[in-house]
Amino acid sequence: MDRIILIKYGELSTKKGNRNFFINTLYNNVKNKLRDYNVNISKDRSRMYISFMDDDLDKIKKVIDNIFGIHMYHIAYIVDTNDEIIQKKVLEVMNNTNFKTFKIETKRCDKSFSIHSQEYNHVLGCLILKNINNISVDVHNPDVLLRVEIREKHSYIYSNAYKGAGGYPVGSQPKGLLMLSGGIDSPVAGYLAMKRGIKLDAIYFEAIPHTSLDARQKVIDLSKELVKFTDNINLHVVNFTKIQEEIYKKCNPTYCITIMRRMMYRIAEGVAKKNKALAIINGESIGQVASQTLTSMSVINSVTNMPIIRPVACLDKLEIIDVARKIGTYETSILPFEDCCTIFVPKHPVINPKLEDSILMENKFDYNSMIEEAIENIYTIKINDKNIENEKFSDLL
Ligand code: ATP
Ligand code: MG
């Protein structure tokens, strides 16, 4: 094991006061995600180091690529901080590399190492020029940029660089509740929220028998895709049938979607509070459909004071689809199962609903008790990155 993964925190390292908290959160997430591998993980203020078994490298890289808070990483050779040993390794590495031009960049983090960075660039450059034929130095656009990072005990030698997932480690923010439908937008919203460090619970509204078990399975499958980026997601499944039927019996059809969404927000708020989530997250995108005009949003939003985070609010559908493809949710999202938002859809949903009219209509039935009942009867499916647990899952089917 003469190589390690060298992780750079990036945006993380700009956090002065709570830097340790961020680094520890990232450390725990990395440790948890790599729990099945034979690795050794250590950290300091600017770097994390993972030693690994060579055979596992490809698999470990795939896991690391989905961990937020990692800005960049390198697969580096690790040697003792000793001039002779470093020179030997540098030559060995360059002998095994295909290049015509190169540049050396030394970073002397341990100032007790007697040779200055610039000087060491020169020493190592000459070493390579002397020992390898038909090559030259190019400081502007080299084929190979070899970095030599000299630290107290160990030094690191590498010429590769892999872009990490970026963002903040999941769990560096409190919990948020994601309204997860089977569509394209909400999984992307969940991904983007996790990227800012938010830990997710999810809520799914279903209206069986009007919506199918396949539709529910789709949401479970989407949650399984999202759990790649975190350790677990509690998916709260709400039976929305009674409320939805009542809405369609009592309310003006053009207002049904507005009122249905006001009910969803009320339930989401209750579930968020019960589960200590501080915000609701959803996949609304401004102007995409009648219920997502700014007027609609404000009428719908007015049932709660909880922050509503809409990570895709200002993205075009094509931009959302790009992310969905990248994170692997797109193929599942486009499966054609009816969602409770797509059943009983009125021909002309109101684009500019009025708050007073919405209130008048929803007061035609006792929605408070129905909301309470819906929250009481929620089934929670625990989705983790290995398997699904749910005490009452069999009752659901
Ligand atoms: P998506 O592609 O994510 O379904 P959409 O374009 O279909 O979004 P809507 O159906 O109007 O938009 O819903 C807007 C948002 O409301 C969704 O992104 C999701 O966050 C939430 N939502 C809609 N239906 C449900 C549902 N059945 N369960 C949970 N959340 C829902
Ligand atoms: Mg939808």
> Residues 7-28: what's their mean pLDDT?
83
Amino acid 343: pLDDT: 67
Domain boundary among 163, 196, 226: 163
**306 and 187 in a common domain:** yes
Half-sphere exposure of 122 (CA within 13 A, CB side): 5
The CATH number assigned to the domain holding 264 equals 3.40.50.620
Q: Which atom of ligand 1 is nearest to the CA of 203?
A: 29
Amino acid in position 285: S
In whole angstroms, give the CA distance from residue 48 to residue 30: 10
How many domains does the chain contain in total? 2
Amino acid 395: pLDDT: 46
> Residues 21-43: what's their mean pLDDT?
96
User: What is the distance in A from the centroid of ligand 1 to the CA of 67?
Assistant: 26
Higher pLDDT, 140 or 291: 140
> Residues 58-85: what's their mean pLDDT?
97
pLDDT one-digit tens code per residue, 89-148: 999 999 999 999 999 999 999 999 999 999 999 999 999 999 999 999 999 999 999 999
Lookup: tokens for 313: 């609010």
- Indicate whether 72 pLDDT > 80: yes
**336 and 251 in a common domain:** yes
In whole angstroms, give the CA distance from residue 380 to residue 391: 8
Domain boundary among 122, 138, 163: 163
**177 and 159 in a common domain:** no
Report the DSSP beta bridge partners of residue 163: 72
Q: pLDDT above 90 covers what percent of the chain?
A: 87
User: What is the distance in A from the centroid of ligand 1 to the CA of 261?
Assistant: 9
Amino acid 288: pLDDT: 84
Higher pLDDT, 289 or 78: 78
Amino acid in position 309: I
**184 and 265 in a common domain:** yes
- Predicted confidence band of residue 397 (pLDDT cuts 50, 70, 90): very low
In whole angstroms, give the CA distance from residue 384 to residue 199: 13
In whole angstroms, give the CA distance from residue 213 to residue 187: 19
To the nearest whole number, what is the mean pLDDT of the chain? 93
What are the C-alpha distances in Å from 383 to residues 185, 272, 333?
20, 17, 18
Q: Which atom of ligand 1 is nearest to the CA of 184?
A: 2
Amino acid in position 188: V
Is 312:188 a contact under the CB 8 Å cutoff?
Answer: yes
User: What is the distance in A from the centroid of ligand 2 to the CA of 391?
Assistant: 28
Residue minimizing CA distance to atom 26 of ligand 1 = 181
3-class SS of residue 371: helix
**133 and 225 in a common domain:** no
Q: pLDDT above 70 covers what percent of the chain?
A: 94
**189 and 122 in a common domain:** no
Lookup: tokens for 272: 């968020």
- Predicted confidence band of residue 339 (pLDDT cuts 50, 70, 90): confident
Q: Which atom of ligand 1 is nearest to the CA of 187?
A: 3
**39 and 88 in a common domain:** yes
**125 and 193 in a common domain:** no
Query: DSSP secondary-structure letter at 167?
Result: S
Domain boundary among 112, 139, 163: 163
pLDDT one-digit tens code per residue, 212-271: 999 999 999 999 999 999 999 999 999 999 999 999 999 999 999 999 999 999 999 999
Amino acid 340: pLDDT: 66
In whole angstroms, give the CA distance from residue 216 to residue 224: 13
Domain that holds residue 106: 3-163
Is the dihedral angle over the CA atoms 44, 163, 40, 158 positive or is it negative?
A: negative
With a 6 A CB cut-off, is 284 part of the ligand 1 pocket? Answer: yes
- Predicted confidence band of residue 349 (pLDDT cuts 50, 70, 90): confident
User: What is the distance in A from the centroid of ligand 1 to the CA of 104?
Assistant: 52
**244 and 274 in a common domain:** yes
Lookup: tokens for 322: 């790009």
In whole angstroms, give the CA distance from residue 249 to residue 349: 16
**242 and 119 in a common domain:** no
Cα 74 off chain centre by: 21
